[in-house]
Structure 1
Amino acid sequence: MDTGTHIVMGLALAGISTLDPVVAESSAATTSVMIGVVVGSQIPDIDTILKLKNNAVYIRNHRGITHSIPAVLLWPIALTALIYPFFPETNLLHLWLWTFLAVFLHVFVDIFNAYGTQALRPFSSKWVALGVINTFDPYIFGIHIIGLIIWAFGANPGYTFIYIYGLLIAYYFLRFRARHKVYKEIKTMIPDATEIIIAPTMKFSQWRIAVMNKHQFFVGRAENNQVQILDQFNRVPVPETPVLNAAKKDKNLSAFLSFSPVYRWEIDEYDEYYEVRFIDLRYRSNDYYPFVAVVQLDPQFNIITSYTGWIFSEEKLRKKLEIIPN
């Protein structure tokens, strides 16, 4: 989920913690647990700071080790160790339990996004992405805001958010049901599909679709359970050529390939350099594919410059590459 949603979910969990008699028995216990819950609901995303280094490092590591099984166990211990000295009269066990719940909830809800997490590390490095909830879901965020407003007007926060979370559980079931209907429709249209990726959008009834069979890629969208194929591409294996072999050694392209399961590739040859471009097919938006990796190499196959990330115009891409377009 996005940062804003994690924040409001942390506040909601802080409200629910007031139902714990041990937490409610003293102001020190209440304050310490609320700090632990709010910080714990954010701490797995500390790896966002990697974006300051470069996109390649960020793509390779975001929602990786910080969302793993060891991290889910260690974050609450570390936060409890930091908070407890300031509130020695609080109950240590309950402080740890609520902080652990906040960290676990953060990682758990991220699994439902299309981006996913490596939540099974160290047992598996596979990305767990159920593709049911958009990274920012206005319904989930909105109902949390309503709950916080009700709390501000004096309602019991614990019972308020218990009721809201009951509604959210029902909402998640509805999202699974809606996604399954889209999946069935795709299987009817493309019965020989070998992989189907269905990504949610901010709109309840709209989904992005990327499908592959042995010979083709299909890119489309679904709205109200109606599937529309917008683009089709032949699947062309990446050949073993000097240009491509050299490009694959680039850190940006390597990061892209570690993250993207469905892509096509292009090579352009200019007078002074080659340009290799890999295009992720999962994020089609307004007839454009914004998530790419581009590598430029000189005639001797030395890397000149490269980029991976989100680009919504060719002009911005050229600026990132710092190459005057031909």
Structure 2
Amino acid sequence: MDTGTHVVMGLALGGLATLDPVVASSSATATSVMIATLVGSQAPDIDTVLKLRNNAVYIRNHRGITHSIPAVLLWPLAIIAVIYPIFPDANLLHLWLWTFLAVFFHVFVDIFNAYGTQALRPFSSKWVALGIINTFDPFIFAMHIVGILAWVFGAHPGYTFIGVYAVLVAYYIFRFITQRKVYHAVKKLVPDATDIIIAPTMKFHQWRIAVMNKNQFFVGRAHDNKVRILDQFKRVAVPETPVLEAAKLDKNLSAFLSFSPVYRWEVDEYDTYYEVRFIDLRYRSNGHYPFVAIVQLDLELNILSSYTGWIFSEEKLRKKLDIIPG
């Protein structure tokens, strides 16, 4: 989920903690738990700072080790190590329990996004992405704001957020059912599909669709369970040519390939260089595919320049990292 949603979820968990008799009976425990749930709800996303280095490092590592099983166990200890000395009268066990819940909840809700997490590391590096909830879901955020406002105006925070989360559990179940209807509609349209990727959007009834069968890629949109195919591409395996093998050594393309499950590729040859482009098919927007990796190599197959990330115009792409004009 986005940062704002994780913040309000941290506040909500702090509110729920007031139902814990140990927390409710101690001001030191209550205050430390509120701080810990806010920090714990953000801690796994500390890897966002990797974007300051470059997109390749960010793409390869975001929601990776910081969302793994060892991290979920270690984050609460690290947070408590800072908070507990400030509130030595707090109940250590209950402080740990609520901090752990905040960290676990962060990773758990991220699994429902299309981006997903590597939450099964170190047992598996597979990305777990259920594609049910958009990274920012207006309804989920709004329900938390309603709960927080009710708290501010005097409602009991614990009972308030029990009600909020009861509604949200029903909402998640409804979204899952809706996604399954879209899946079956896609299966009817492309009965020989080998892979179907369904991703939510900010619009409640709309979904992005990327489908593969043995010979083609299909890209489309679904409104409820009505699917419309917008683009089709011939599925061509990436050959082991010298140009492509050299391009795969580039850190940006390597990061792209570690993250993207469905893409098409292009190789263009110019007078003095080659240009290799990989295009993720999951994020079609206004007829454009903005998530790409591009590598330029000289005729001796030395890498001249490269880029991976979100680009919404060719002009901006050409400005990145001094890429040679095509």
- The whole-number CA distance in structure 2 between the counterparts of 1:292 and 1:41 is 31
State how 1:8-157 maps to structure 2 within 5 Å: 8-157=8-157
- The whole-number CA distance in structure 2 between the counterparts of 1:119 and 1:65 is 8
Counterpart code for 2:157 = P
- The whole-number CA distance in structure 2 between the counterparts of 1:87 and 1:224 is 50
- The whole-number CA distance in structure 2 between the counterparts of 1:154 and 1:106 is 27
State how 1:265-276 maps to structure 2 within 5 Å: 265-276=265-276
CA contact (8 A) 2:44 2:66 kept: yes
- The whole-number CA distance in structure 2 between the counterparts of 1:141 and 1:229 is 31
Please list the CA deviations of residues 271-311 of structure 1 after superposition, one character each: whole Å capped at 9, or x if unmatched: 12111000000000000000000000011110000000000
Please list the CA deviations of residues 205-246 of structure 1 after superposition, one character each: whole Å capped at 9, or x if unmatched: 100000000000000000021100000000111111111111
- The whole-number CA distance in structure 1 between the counterparts of 2:291 and 2:17 is 40
C-alpha deviation, 1:324, in angstroms: 4.9
- The whole-number CA distance in structure 2 between the counterparts of 1:320 and 1:23 is 52
Where does structure 1 lack aligned partners over 5 or more consecutive residues? Answer: none
Output the TM-score relative to the length of structure 2. Answer: 0.99
Please list the CA deviations of residues 91-134 of structure 1 after superposition, one character each: whole Å capped at 9, or x if unmatched: 00000000000000000000000000000111111110000000
- The whole-number CA distance in structure 1 between the counterparts of 2:21 and 2:96 is 15
State how 1:284-323 maps to structure 2 within 5 Å: 284-323=284-323
Output the TM-score relative to the length of structure 1. Answer: 0.99
CA contact (8 A) 2:64 2:117 kept: yes
- The whole-number CA distance in structure 2 between the counterparts of 1:140 and 1:86 is 33
- The whole-number CA distance in structure 2 between the counterparts of 1:324 and 1:39 is 44
Indicate the percent of aligned positions where both proteins have the same amino acid: 78
In the alignment, which residue of structure 2 is the partner of 1:277? 277
SS at match of 2:85: helix
Say what the alpha-carbon RMSD is for the aligned residues: 0.7
C-alpha deviation, 1:25, in angstroms: 1.1
- The whole-number CA distance in structure 2 between the counterparts of 1:61 and 1:113 is 17
- The whole-number CA distance in structure 2 between the counterparts of 1:241 and 1:90 is 63
SS at match of 1:130: coil
In the alignment, which residue of structure 1 is the partner of 2:229? 229
SS at match of 1:76: helix
User: Are residues 1:247 and 2:226 paired?
Assistant: no
- The whole-number CA distance in structure 2 between the counterparts of 1:163 and 1:146 is 11
